[in-house]
Amino acid sequence: MTSFEPNRTVDLHALQKVLGGGLIWAALAFFLIALLIFTSIRIGRVTGEEVGVLLNKMNGKTEVINRPGVHLYNGITHHFYVLDKTLQTLEMTEVPTRGERTGKDDLKIKTQDGSDVYVDLIVQYRIDANQADIVLETSGPGQAFKETWARDFVRSLCRNSLGELTTEEFYDSAKRDGKIRDAHMAANDRLTAFGIFIDSVVIPKNPHFYAEYEEMIKKKKLADQAVLQEQSKALAAKQRQEFAVVEETNRTNVAIEQYKGEMQQQIIKAEAAAYKARMEAESYHKRVTVGAEAFLYQKQQEAEGIRTKKSKEAEGIEELKKAMEGEGGRNMVKLEYARRLKDLAITGQPYTLDMHTERFQHSSAPASASGPTGRPARRP
């Protein structure tokens, strides 16, 4: 027992020594790791006009950060890129002091008929914030997409499209703008897959040629303008002529319409007068007819009355005739004589100088001897 305990004590001290040294190294390693992690923390800032892309160096995966703010990441395992997502303008012009490049930067175009034409271009473009990782992957960091796509690619498309025109067609703005629209649409069709959108492509001013051709075009334009002026004068004269014809036609139509109106008024007046005369004639006819009918009716009534009266008188005469025939007639005569002799006064002397004696005698006369009134005819 006594010999064994000292050895055990020695081993415990050795073990404590060993363990104490390991903890120190472990703490040192932990501190070094923490220090390494702390020193590898990076800060990425994204403004409202930017979009961030976080690249994992270990596996190549990317994360699009489209919200503004501060973002922490490990600088050892990741890399943080920032791209501008605002609308940008690229100007390619012949003016040396303007545009993205020094010196002349306008676009030279070879027309179908072999002439050299120079045009300025203004391209407005922006990246698709949701495809910022594709922009980074295909174009690289920074503004590389600006040179690769917005400038070189669009410039090439415009050169090819405008090269389909002739020299004279370049002065037709409608045809020139149509070719620019074609190039614009073709650019967006191809660049959408790369996360880039072209907002507009415009030619800010008229194209220009080399000096000799410019002079020839200027002369041609002056001649064309003179032709156009003469055509305008001819057109104006024709329009004046047409206006005069229309004006005279309108004046004639107005006169015709006025005459028609007057004739229509005369017709209406004549019809009204005829209607009035007809109504007056009908009224007069009715009035005369009614008066004639009334007069006829009156005369018929009067004639009927006369006829009735005469018939009655004739009947009375006939009855009187009948009454006066025979004894009745003689009685009437006697009565009449008696009525006449009633008031007769006889004067004179009751003697006569004439010895001739007359005698009053009454005898019945035959019927044929009576007068037209039924009375007996007087004998001589």
- pLDDT band, residue 352 (cuts 50/70/90): low
Question: In the structure encoding, which two tokens stand for residue 239, read together?
Answer: 């329009």
Distance CA 354, CA 366 (A): 33
Distance CA 152, CA 164 (A): 19
Distance CA 266, CA 272 (A): 10
Distance CA 64, CA 79 (A): 12
Please give the DSSP secondary-structure letter assigned to residue 376.
B
Distance CA 153, CA 144 (A): 12
Please report, for the chain, the start and end positions of each structural domain, with discontinuous segments joined by +: 4-81, 87-209, 221-307
Question: What is the distance, to the nearest Å, from the Cα of residue 198 to the centroid of all Cα atoms in its chain?
Answer: 39
Distance CA 195, CA 140 (A): 12
- pLDDT band, residue 186 (cuts 50/70/90): very high
- In this prediction, residues 271-288 reach a mean pLDDT of 82
Tell me the pairing of strands 116-119 and 69-74: unpaired
* DSSP-derived secondary structure for 192-219: GGGTEEEEEEE--S--B--HHHHHHHHH
Residue 3 has pLDDT above 80, yes or no: no
Tell me the average pLDDT of the chain.
77
* pLDDT confidence of residue 23: 65
* pLDDT confidence of residue 125: 93
Distance CA 257, CA 122 (A): 63
Q: When comparing pLDDT for 14 and 327, which is higher? A: 327
Question: What is the distance, to the nearest Å, from the Cα of residue 97 to the centroid of all Cα atoms in its chain?
Answer: 54
Query: How many residues are listed for the chain in this entry?
Result: 380
Residue 178 has pLDDT above 90, yes or no: yes
* pLDDT confidence of residue 371: 45
Q: Can you say whether the dihedral through the CA atoms of 304, 306, 309, 315 is positive or negative?
A: negative
Distance CA 123, CA 201 (A): 5
Residue 318 has pLDDT above 80, yes or no: no
Question: In the structure encoding, which two tokens stand for residue 175, read together?
Answer: 């045809």
- In this prediction, residues 27-43 reach a mean pLDDT of 62
- In this prediction, residues 86-98 reach a mean pLDDT of 89
Phi, psi of 160 (to 5 degrees): -65, -40
Distance CA 122, CA 50 (A): 23
Residue 181 has pLDDT above 90, yes or no: yes
Element housing 32 (H / E): helix 4-40
User: Which residue from 146, 148, 140, 155 is spatially nearest to 186, judged by alpha carbons?
Assistant: 155
Residue 193 has pLDDT above 80, yes or no: yes
* pLDDT confidence of residue 328: 67
Which residue type, as a one-letter code, is found at position 333?
A: V
Distance CA 60, CA 57 (A): 5
Whole-prediction pTM value? 0.48
Does the domain at residues 87-209 carry the CATH identifier 3.30.479.30? yes
Q: pLDDT, tens digit, for every residue of 104-160?
A: 888 999 888 888 889 999 999 999 989 988 988 888 777 778 888 888 899 999 999
Residue 5 has pLDDT above 80, yes or no: no
Residue 2 has pLDDT above 60, yes or no: no
Distance CA 281, CA 292 (A): 15
3-class state of residue 143 by DSSP: coil
E-assigned strand segments in the chain: 41-46, 50-56, 62-65, 69-74, 78-84, 88-92, 107-110, 116-119, 121-127, 196-202
User: Which residue from 190, 59, 52 is spatially nearest to 130, judged by alpha carbons?
Assistant: 52
Q: When comparing pLDDT for 9 and 174, which is higher? A: 174
Q: Can you say whether the dihedral through the CA atoms of 230, 235, 239, 241 is positive or negative?
A: positive
